[in-house]
Each structure stands twice: as structure tokens, then as C-alpha cells.
A and B are shown apart, each in its own frame.
Chain A
Amino acid sequence: MRHLMSPLDFSVEELDTLLDLAQDIEAHPEKYAHACEGKKLATLFYEPSTRTRLSHEAAMLNLGGSVMGFASSDSSSASKGESVADTIRVISCYADICAMRHPKEGAPMVACQHSTIPVINAGDGGHQHPTQTLTDLLTIRNLKGRLCNMTIGLCGDLKFGRTVHSLINALVRYEGIRFILISPEELRLPEYIRHDVLDRNNIPYEEVVRLEDALPQLDILYMTRVQKERFFNEEDYVRMKDFYILDKAKMKLAPEDMYVLHPLPRVNEISVEVDDDPRAAYFRQAQYGVYVRMALILTLLDIHVD
């Protein structure tokens, strides 16, 4: 039985197979409409999330399965003090697969140690968010036609942004990847990722503060939100939240074939005036998120559709 804890749980070859499956689902959704009939997905969300939870649920419903779960720790037994280990033992009796989001880092790892059903890490604190990474990879591959030989700009909260950490880990396995890390000093990429992932794999990168300096060089611009819930101090959050705002004027500096991605929700970091730009790909990205989660559910449940 397999779980998904980190994007690195899949080899590059397995990832290719998964992304191929997602593309086939996109092209032929009717083929997969009954693939999970009789199967149940439990969504165990200990902190609020709209799109990740609904995206998992939409994926299972599209496959003909059913869904159950809770959307906050207040409405689960966690509020009564139940451990993650006990919760997953019980949920294993009810469902065939589960997706867990938890504010504490490593909670899904605890779950998979006690689970008898596949566990999908749907985000654990500031640590990992592998299904977002799968979404990002599918989006980049579909838009650019490749996952290699690219300059990727990562902009915003690179310190607490788990989507950024997961995406870097996944992309360093491809040839010719170069990063431009765009962040204020206080929200720089953590040392352990710069050292252990980028330096160790000899991945070229530069760190800049001004988004305008990076834009002309990029194939992909990955914007992130400064997340209030990751700050212990309200003052720091207020100071950082509007540090970057991508607008029409800045988009003029970007190449014609550069795409803008964002894991959503966005707040102010992308002006709504950018939404009509053909390079704004963040809503298409959300759609790809459903296809890739469908492919993931099928893969983890070992269901094959001819």
C-alpha cells in the first residue's frame, strides 16, 4: 500500500506515468466516470481549506466514488483531544482512502504509520503540500510542454510557503532548471532548502528582492500569498503582506510565453487586472488540480482503467 507524503515519494518515471494519466483523464473524462464506484474518500481537514478539500472531493466524485469527512478540527474528535493515530485507525474502518490536512508538521506521517488505507498529505503546516506540487507540475508540463530547461521565478513568502518548498524539491530532479528566488529578506527560502536541495544538486539560483528585476528572465512566475496563519506576530504580517503586487505594468516586463501560476487563494499579490492576460494560468491550474488528484486516487487505490 502506498501513501503520498512528499512529492519525492514518486520517482521521475512514476511521476511521468501519473501526469500522463492526468492528461488522459482531461482528454477522456467519461472513461473514468465510474472507476471508483463503491469507494469512499475521507477528507480529514484539521484546518480550514476550501480548494484543496473540494478539489479532492471533486476528484473522487468525478471518479464515481463518494466522500465524507470534516472541515475543521472543531468538528472532529481532535477537539476532544483524540490523537491523530487514533483518528486514522477509526477512519481506516470507514473509508478506502483519505486526504489529511493538519496544522502540525508531520501529522500525515503519523497517520500513515497507523493507517490501513492510503493517506494523502493534503498539507501539513509549513512543511509539505505534495498534491499542490503535482498540480503545479501538471500545469507547467501542459502549458510549456516540458518540465526541463526552464527558469522558474518563485515570489513572495518563500520562508513559510510549503508549496514553494515542495515544488523546488520536485523540480530539481529535471535537467536545466534554474530558480530566481524573489522575496523580502525576512521571508527568504530556509537555509536547509538552499543548502540541502539547491546547493547539493548544483542547481543554479539567485536571490533578488525586486520582482521587476527577475521578470524578463522567466519561463514561469510562481506567485505565493504571505500567509497570516504562519506568523506568530501580527505586526510582521502586516508589514509583509503587500510587499509584492503583480499588475499589468509589471506584466509588460515579462516574456510573451511566460505563465503566471499561483496556488490560490490570492489576496493582493496579483491584481485582478492581470486575470484577463492569456499568461495568467492560475485558474487553469485549479482545474489541473482536480485531474491530477483523480490520477493520484486511481494510482494509490491501484485501479486501472483500460
Chain B
Amino acid sequence: MVKNTLNVGSISEGFVLDHIEAGRSMDIYKYLHLDKLDCCVAIIKNAKSSKMGKKDIIKIECPIDFMDLDILGFIDHNITVNIIENEKIVEKKQLRLPKEIKNVIRCKNPRCITSIEQGLDHVFVLTDEENQIYRCKYCEEKYRRRR
């Protein structure tokens, strides 16, 4: 038996999200609503990485048209998205900042209508691509990233 080795098998169809900043895989799990998917998901935390030191990886076994990964561009555009078919990488998806994000982040402005209006989507719009600035569609409050 080899010590300190953890093997997660390959997938036949789906996605491998690589180079996730160590510790952020559960955020992505949540943003992509992976808990609601009835398919095999593997989360690897703190894997060794020559580039990053430590990284997280998520493997998702599902039909490739099953998921909208645009939100990953908002979370961290450095994540590598490998699209897998027949156990082979068929495409490395380039991540871009989505123009609009719906119900992923919430407006923190207590004066915003989203704080009281029932059933209203929380929508943020990319207003400055260069500086990666998103603003609430309703009150224009700037979204401040945690990091």
C-alpha cells in the first residue's frame, strides 16, 4: 500500500474542475448547486500542485450539456474546466466573466428593494469588465468580493 495517496477514479463523461484555490471547492459545490444533482461528484481538497502549492479539484460525472458553468468565471476565472467524453479531455473551457449573475450573490444594501420584495431574483450585472465590477441591477450597489 502506498502511503498518503488517495485515488479517485476517472470519469467517462462530465467535468473536471482543476486549479481551484485550496479551500474553495465547497463554495463552488454550493454555487453550482451540486447538492441537487443526482450524479457522482468527487471533491478533492488540498491536492498537491506544482503551480499553486495546494489546490482543490472537483470531478462531476454528468452529461456535458447538463450544467451551466458560466458562474465559475465569476467565482474564479483561473479555474481550469476540462470537459470529459469517453474518459478523455475533449475541451478545455475558457472561463469568462458572465454578463449577468442571477441568485448567486445577494445584495447587501439594506435600502435595496431586494431586501423586502418577495420572490425577486437577486441580479448582478457586470458593469466594468476590466475591473471585474458587478452591481445590483436594482440599486446599483457594488458587489464586494470576500477576498
A: which residues have CB within 8 A of B? 83-85, 102-107, 109-110, 124-127, 192, 196
Contacts and interface: CB of A to CB of B under 8 A. Distances in A.
A85 B120 contact: yes
Contact of A85 (B111, B114, B117): B117
B117 A83 contact: yes
B138 A106 contact: yes
Contact of A104 (B116, B127, B128, B137): B116
B128 A105 contact: no
A105 B116 CA distance: 11
Given A85-B120, A106-B136, 19 more contacts: A84-B117, A85-B117, A104-B112, A104-B115, A105-B109, A105-B112, A105-B113, A105-B140, A105-B141, A106-B112, A106-B138, A106-B139, A107-B113, A107-B117, A109-B138, A110-B120, A124-B113, A125-B111, A192-B135
A107 B138 CA distance: 7
A103 B117 contact: no
B139 A105 contact: yes
A126 B127 CA distance: 20
Contacts of A110: 113, 117, 120, 138
Given A125-B139, A127-B139, A127-B140, A109 B111 contact: no
Nearest to B135: A192
Contacts of B111: 103-105, 125-127
B127 A196 contact: yes
A104 B113 contact: yes
6 residue pairs, one from A and one from B, having the closest CB atoms: A106-B138, A105-B139, A104-B113, A106-B113, A107-B113, A125-B111
Given A127-B139, A192-B140, A109 B128 contact: no
A156 B95 CA distance: 45
Nearest to A113: B120
B53 interface: no
A303 B5 CA distance: 76
Contacts of A83: 117-120
B96 interface: no
A106 B114 contact: yes
Contacts of B137: 106, 109
B54 interface: no
